[in-house]
């Protein structure tokens, strides 16, 4: 591209190189090197205390991950991760599609509505976690009040059967605004004439949506699915704030890295096997990579068909 045939206008190349590699050095040392070393650490018996010799132990950490002693916990976390990521991506997509079609109509105060939906993006997990802990407060919160009208109650985040669903709900609430923004940009790029043409051809509202909106939104759908899956597979901060680090009902793989590596409770740090935690990181990384490749293949094919 442009990079091949570009005369360099400035007298010296060295300033370019100096600042470029200064930036790259910082990025490498603190960003890329730790990321790459996760793989190395996963083959060692690294611990959380400095000064203890570190030994290579081959694939023992991975063997341990799939061993009988850990398999139950790990399968549980794996299942939670997949359910959380799958459900939140699908619901988020559907909800975002509905909201963006709604907010694409010429309504009064439309810009304000869009801002409101996008706002959780800045609130952050701690605030969002506390807001929803308050909403789902079992003793007298609004949700409990509604349930009491029907004569029932619930422990909400304390109920192991319900906790994961509620965390998923809060996650969707927190990130749906991003999908809405992406869909709105996609909707605005659809020429108005297509809709006029479709109505003249006698297409009903639903048919216009299915035959005009959906096919032309395909690139935005791809972007949203990928973003949603990658984000949901790796997100654990909200789980951490809402239900604590070692709640079996909501345990996900990335939170297990934290629990295994740092104990979750203070004082346990020293005995934790960080090599094992690194192995969990790698298992998760490979899983995310595989899912991204498969979804991308599928969505590309779909896009091409439409």
Partner 1 sequence: MSTLTSTSTAAAPAATPSGRHAGGRTRPPRRRGRIWLYLCVAAVLVLFLFPLLFLANTALKSNAEFASNPVGLVHSPHWSNFSQAWSKGNFGSYVLNSILYTAAGAGIGTFIALVMGFPVARGYVRGGKVWRAVFALVLFLPNALITQFQLLLRLHLYDNRLGYILMVGVGVGVGPLLFSGFVSSLPRELDEAAAMDGVGYWRYLFTFVLPLARPALVTCFILQAVWIWNEIILATVLLADPTKFPVTVGLYAFKGTYGNQWGLLAAATLIVAAPLVIGYLFIQRYLVNGVLGAVKG
3-class DSSP assignment, residue 289: helix
For residue 155, give both structure tokens: 């422990």
217 is a site residue for partner 1 (CB under 8 A):
no
Among 215, 249, 291, 295, binds partner 1 (CB under 8 A): 215
Alpha-carbon distance of 14 to 17, in angstroms, equals: 5
Among 20, 56, 66, 298, binds partner 1 (CB under 8 A): 20
Least Cα distance to 91 among 25, 160, 205, 173 occurs for 173
Q: What residues between 61 and 90 interact with partner 1 by CB under 8 A?
A: none
Q: Which region, judged by CB under 8 A, interacts with partner 1, from 14-22, 58-66, 69-77, 79-87? A: 14-22
* Cβ at position 20, least distance to partner 1 in Å: 5
Q: What residues between 118 and 137 interact with partner 1 by CB under 8 A?
A: 118-127, 130-132, 134-135, 137
| Residue 225 contacts residue 299 (beta carbons within 8 Å) | yes
Alpha-carbon distance of 154 to 282, in angstroms, equals: 37
* Cβ at position 49, least distance to partner 1 in Å: 9
254 is a site residue for partner 1 (CB under 8 A):
yes
Backbone angles phi, psi at 47, to 5 degrees: -125, 170
Residue among 75 and 134 whose Cβ is closer to partner 1: 134
Alpha-carbon distance of 243 to 295, in angstroms, equals: 30
Among 187, 230, 249, 299, binds partner 1 (CB under 8 A): 230
223 is a site residue for partner 1 (CB under 8 A):
yes
For residue 127, give both structure tokens: 């605030």
Alpha-carbon distance of 93 to 96, in angstroms, equals: 5
| Residue 238 contacts residue 6 (beta carbons within 8 Å) | no
173 is a site residue for partner 1 (CB under 8 A):
yes
Query: CA angle, 65 as apex, 73 and 296 as ends, to 5°?
Result: 90
For residue 252, give both structure tokens: 């996900």
158 is a site residue for partner 1 (CB under 8 A):
no
Among 23, 58, 158, 160, binds partner 1 (CB under 8 A): 23
Residue among 68 and 122 whose Cβ is closer to partner 1: 122
* Cβ at position 193, least distance to partner 1 in Å: 7
| Residue 190 contacts residue 183 (beta carbons within 8 Å) | no
* Cβ at position 208, least distance to partner 1 in Å: 10
- Count other Cβ atoms within 10 Å, centred on residue 289: 12
Residue among 68 and 202 whose Cβ is closer to partner 1: 202
Residue among 59 and 185 whose Cβ is closer to partner 1: 185
Among 76, 234, 246, 295, binds partner 1 (CB under 8 A): 234
**If binding means CB under 8 A, how many residues of this protein chain bind partner 1?**
105
151 is a site residue for partner 1 (CB under 8 A):
no
3-class DSSP assignment, residue 148: helix
């Amino acid at each position: 591209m442009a990079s091949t045939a570009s005369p360099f206008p400035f007298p010296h190349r060295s300033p370019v190189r100096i600042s470029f590699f200064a930036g790259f050095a910082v990025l490498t040392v603190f960003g890329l090197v730790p990321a790459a070393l996760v793989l190395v650490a996963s083959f060692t018996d690294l611990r959380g205390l400095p000064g203890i010799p570190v030994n290579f132990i081959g694939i023992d950490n991975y063997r341990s991950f799939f061993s009988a002693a850990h398999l139950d916990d790990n399968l549980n976390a794996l299942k939670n991760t997949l359910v959380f990521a799958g459900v939140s991506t699908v619901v988020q997509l559907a909800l975002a599609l509905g909201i963006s079609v709604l907010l694409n109509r010429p309504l009064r105060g439309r810009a304000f509505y869009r801002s409101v939906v996008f706002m959780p993006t800045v609130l952050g997990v701690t605030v969002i976690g506390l807001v929803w802990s308050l909403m789902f407060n079992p003793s007298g919160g609004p949700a409990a009040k509604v349930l009491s009208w029907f004569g029932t109650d619930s422990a909400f985040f304390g109920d192991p059967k319900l906790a994961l669903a509620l965390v998923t709900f809060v996650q969707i609430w927190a990130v749906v605004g991003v999908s809405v923004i992406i869909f709105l940009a996609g909707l605005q790029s659809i020429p108005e004439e297509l809709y006029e043409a479709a109505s003249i051809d006698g297409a009903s509202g639903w048919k216009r949506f299915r035959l005009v909106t959906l096919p032309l939104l395909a690139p935005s759908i791809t972007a949203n699915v990928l973003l949603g899956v990658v984000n949901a597979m790796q997100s654990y901060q909200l789980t951490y704030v809402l239900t604590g680090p070692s709640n079996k009902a909501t345990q996900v793989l990335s939170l297990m890295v934290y629990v295994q590596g740092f104990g979750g409770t203070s004082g346990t740090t020293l005995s934790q096997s960080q090599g094992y935690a690194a192995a969990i990181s790698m298992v998760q990384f490979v899983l995310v990579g595989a899912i991204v490749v498969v979804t991308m293949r599928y969505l590309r094919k779909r896009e091409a068909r439409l």
